[in-house]
């Protein structure tokens, strides 16, 4: 038996400022950041949303992100959650939409 896997657990994230200039462009480990978001969410359960978003923004800064808004943090959480769900639900052996092996594309906007 052999195992042949492609590591599709990373996603390229490009962050632009309001002028369109790229200020951050790196690969994210989807499971690591998703699990971190879940941990932060559990820690802030029952507290105001702005405290949760502030904690996410603080974590992103520790990861090397430039200063980002709470809106960006919320959008990133949603997109990471969606992408992780897509990867979890993909049939084994079939390319996931948005992967280099797929003909489908998923806009990140």
Per-residue pLDDT tens over the stretch 10-59: 999 999 988 999 999 999 999 999 999 999 999 999 999 999 999 999 99
For residue 109, is pLDDT > 70? no
Give me the helix-helix angle, 49-62 and 70-89, nearest 10°: 80
The pLDDT assigned to 97 comes to: 56
pLDDT in tens, 57-97: 999 999 999 999 999 999 999 999 999 999 888 765 555 55
- Helix H or strand E segment including 56: helix 49-62
The answer to whether residue 3 scores a pLDDT higher than 60 is yes
């Amino acid at each position: 038996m052999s195992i042949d896997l492609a590591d599709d657990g990373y996603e390229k994230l490009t962050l632009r400022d309001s002028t369109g200039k790229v200020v951050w462009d790196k690969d994210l480990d989807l499971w690591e950041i998703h699990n971190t978001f879940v941990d932060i969410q559990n820690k802030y359960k029952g507290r105001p949303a702005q405290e949760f978003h502030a904690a996410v923004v603080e974590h992103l800064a520790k990861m090397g992100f430039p200063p980002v808004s709470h809106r960006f943090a919320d959008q990133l959480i949603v997109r990471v959650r969606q992408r992780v769900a897509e990867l979890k639900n993909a049939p084994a052996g079939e390319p996931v939409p948005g992967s280099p092996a797929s003909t489908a594309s998923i806009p990140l906007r």
